[in-house]
Amino acid sequence: MTTIPAPPLRVLHAAAEIFPLVKTGGLADVVGALPQALAAAGADIRLLLPGLPAILDAVSRPRKIFEGGSLFGAARITLRLGRFKDGIKGCDVRAYVLDAPWLYARSGGPYQGPDGRPWDDNLQRFALLGWAAAHLAAGELDPAWRPDILHAHDWHAALGCSYLRAHPGAHARSIFTIHNLAYQGLFAQDDFAALGLPQRFMRPDGLEFHGQLSFMKGGLAHADRLTTVSPTYAREITTPEFGCGVEGVLSARAADLSGILNGVDYSHWDPSTDPALPAHYDPQDLTGKAACKAALQREFGLTTDTASPVIAVVSRLSEQKGLDLALAALPELLAEGAQFAILGSGDAALERAFAEAAAAHPGRVGVRIGYDETLAHRVIAGADLILVPSRFEPCGLTQLYGMRYGTLPLVRRVGGLADTVDRSTGFLFDAAEPAALAEAARHAILTLRDPLRRRAMQQQAMSRDHGWPAAAQQYLSLYRALMGRQP
């Protein structure tokens, strides 16, 4: 008997950002690489993205798939399908883009205006994303491509799972991936009427969250499976300490919740080819790294002293990242002979405090406030240690980038940091306290002074494989299980 191979699984990924077009954090890196890795592993993958100007501009020869309106305040909505133009390394899979100028054609960030405040119509902007995701998944918008699975990322796309659940005829299953539970997409309860969902969904076992409307809860309550981006964070979020108030919902769904570690796009993060670097290197020959360090010291106004370990941070400056701990520990780090280089933006008080630290310690502390993709590569290549002292960290990518660049991670043992860094590749501390950070830093600095030990750790770290293919295989297994297919 001959067996007919099953057709490739069709999966629609819905998300709000994609590297390199629109990026506020690691979510964009994931959306720019995971679909590609899944396609390479044999799945039939498409993306759904909001038509933010940078995204619309990047799609070559988009084909009109659907035209409609008025929806969520937008008179005109056109769903277009295309591939990204050459040179956009984000990905090669096909993308549906929601061209809805009323909601998306504006300058500013994907979630906030230029004044840093959330867009007033975020409810409409991301309800449309979810609505379109579900209608595509149900075969309503593009009958030529009916996905088996809708894979929605973070609160921005979470309502896709709710719309799908509300439709009795939809055969597609859904997966919701939590990239960060701290951002839930909360709106006034009264706005629920604008969504066009069944009233019964506005209950605590649905979208209701302490008198508010939570988009995130749409994913948590209505997706068939839940994932997050590390096994440790998957456990942590079922506890009050990390559960952001939805630990009860997550505990109740523990059997459907799993953690799959993010990967690294090594075509973009490779010190032997990285075009952003002044010199190249690999695990066999790290000479180029010394040149990267000297260049970084110059670029950040640090004394060009090869013996001083450079501790670097590349991060959003937010409560999550624990950088107040780094500030408090700074005097001790400097007393140990370290230099400090930080590239980040976010919280105004932290931005000011780091700028003041740089002014107080010329030649020892260098600060760049802002967001700069190529500078991030140079900082990660040139530093000796990459510091990630997060209070919580769903996965974290910068420690993985650091490892590939022979820049040893100094991290808090939490979430994905605990799952990716060990004593042979980096340095860990437990308490979210400056003294614990300082103690681990002291140990790290001491270790770095031993050239053999340092070299051994760098080689271990650089040769760890955190590429996307392994993560893609885990997602594929999950998809197959969800569809009742053989693993």
Size of the site for ligand ADP (CB under 6 A): 17
How many helices (H) and strands (E) in the chain?
17, 18
Separation between Cα atoms, residue 365 and residue 345, nearest integer Å? 16
User: Which has the closest alpha carbon to 46: 128, 126, 137?
Assistant: 137
Task: Report 290-319 residues binding ligand ADP (CB under 6 A).
Answer: 314-316
Beta bridge partners of 109: none
| 229 touches, from ligand ADP, ligand GLC, none (C-beta below 5 to 8 Å by class) | ligand GLC
Separation between Cα atoms, residue 433 and residue 328, nearest integer Å? 9
- Give the chain's radius of gyration (CA, Å): 23
333/376 with CB nearer ligand ADP: 376
Q: Which of 229, 261, 312, 414 binds ligand GLC (CB under 6 A)?
A: 229
Q: Check binding of 376 to ligand ADP (CB under 6 A).
A: yes
Q: Check binding of 389 to ligand ADP (CB under 6 A).
A: no
221/387 with CB nearer ligand ADP: 387
Q: Check binding of 398 to ligand ADP (CB under 6 A).
A: yes
Q: Check binding of 419 to ligand ADP (CB under 6 A).
A: no
- Helices 468-482 and 26-40 meet at what angle, rounded to 10? 70
- Helices 451-463 and 434-448 meet at what angle, rounded to 10? 110
User: Which has the closest alpha carbon to 212: 187, 185, 193?
Assistant: 187
Separation between Cα atoms, residue 189 and residue 207, nearest integer Å? 9
Q: Check binding of 20 to ligand ADP (CB under 6 A).
A: no
Give the pairing type, strands 186-188 and 212-214: antiparallel
User: Which has the closest alpha carbon to 415: 397, 438, 436?
Assistant: 397
| 398 touches, from ligand ADP, ligand GLC, none (C-beta below 5 to 8 Å by class) | ligand ADP
30/462 with CB nearer ligand ADP: 30
Q: Check binding of 396 to ligand ADP (CB under 6 A).
A: yes
79/314 with CB nearer ligand ADP: 314
| 299 touches, from ligand GLC, ligand ADP, none (C-beta below 5 to 8 Å by class) | none
| 372 touches, from ligand GLC, ligand ADP, none (C-beta below 5 to 8 Å by class) | ligand ADP
Residue 409 contacts residue 336 (beta carbons within 8 Å): no
**Residue whose pair of structure tokens reads 């590349």 in the numeric block:** 314
Alpha-helix residue ranges (DSSP H) falling in 215-307? 215-222, 231-236, 247-252, 287-299
Q: How far is the CB of 233 from ligand GLC (least distance, A)?
A: 8
Q: Check binding of 109 to ligand GLC (CB under 6 A).
A: no
| 316 touches, from ligand ADP, ligand GLC, none (C-beta below 5 to 8 Å by class) | ligand ADP
For the beta sheet containing 94-99, the strands, ordered from the edge strand earlier in sequence to the opposite edge, are: 59-68, 77-84, 94-99, 44-50, 10-14, 149-153, 173-178, 225-228, 257-259
Q: Check binding of 344 to ligand ADP (CB under 6 A).
A: yes
> What would the two tokens of residue 34 be?
């995971």
Q: Which of 274, 384, 393, 419 binds ligand GLC (CB under 6 A)?
A: 393
Separation between Cα atoms, residue 345 and residue 343, nearest integer Å? 7
Q: How far is the CB of 371 from ligand ADP (least distance, A)?
A: 4
Q: Check binding of 231 to ligand GLC (CB under 6 A).
A: no
Separation between Cα atoms, residue 437 and residue 429, nearest integer Å? 6
SS3 for 270?
A: coil
Q: Check binding of 184 to ligand GLC (CB under 6 A).
A: no
Q: Check binding of 381 to ligand ADP (CB under 6 A).
A: no
Task: Give contact residues for ligand ADP (rule: CB under 6 A).
Answer: 25-26, 29, 314-316, 343-345, 371-373, 376, 395-398
Task: Give contact residues for ligand GLC (rule: CB under 6 A).
Answer: 25-27, 30, 179-180, 229, 262, 393-397, 416
